[in-house]
Amino acid sequence: MRILLASLALAAFASAQNCSNLSATNSANGSRLNIALTNGAAGAPAILVVGQTAGSTTVNFGIATLNLGVAMPFVPAPLGVTDATGSASISLRIPTNLPGMNLVLQGFTLAIGGISLPTGPGGPGLPGFPGGNLPMPTLTFCTSNVATAHIGN
């Protein structure tokens, strides 16, 4: 029973869902690679993970865990801040002399919650917070599907 309660408590602080969609176009040398994330969290930072192999990677942030479908090694890159519909996109020019390669891509948005400013006198400890306690911050990840793209010749 304790394990079940602990699991429920942890789930309340961090949740990861495959709730967004990522699309990418194949791109030849001299053209553009277009990447679009849709249905993510609105107004949230969007991150793109780029690797060469699909797999399973778990990243522990202490108060949250991010589960990815891209194997290490990979490179995280900012995709931008999502708009009101949870969308962000980028268009990258592919150099004319790039050798061909396959990419494995996954995007996610990151929502930070549980942080508030003091609104009145608090109890002993931290002034302004009820009982003198800081609220527990939360991280929520909205991961996308894993997409593939071929770039170069």
What's the pLDDT score for residue 7? 32
What's the pLDDT score for residue 117? 54
Contacts of 42 (CB under 8 A, 6+ apart): 82, 83, 84, 85, 86
What's the pLDDT score for residue 128? 54
What's the pLDDT score for residue 73? 96
- The amino acid sitting at 102 is N
Interstrand relation of 14-24 and 138-151 (parallel, antiparallel or unpaired): parallel
Q: Encode the chain (153 residues) as per-residue pLDDT tens digits.
A: 333 333 333 333 344 457 999 999 999 999 999 999 999 999 999 999 999 999 999 999 888 999 999 999 999 999 999 999 999 999 999 999 999 999 999 999 998 887 655 555 554 445 555 555 566 778 889 999 999 999 998
What's the pLDDT score for residue 13? 36
Q: Residue 27 gets which letter from DSSP?
A: B
At 143 the three-state DSSP class reads strand
What's the pLDDT score for residue 141? 93
Interstrand relation of 45-51 and 101-113 (parallel, antiparallel or unpaired): antiparallel
pTM of this structure: 0.76
Containing H/E element for 12? helix 2-13
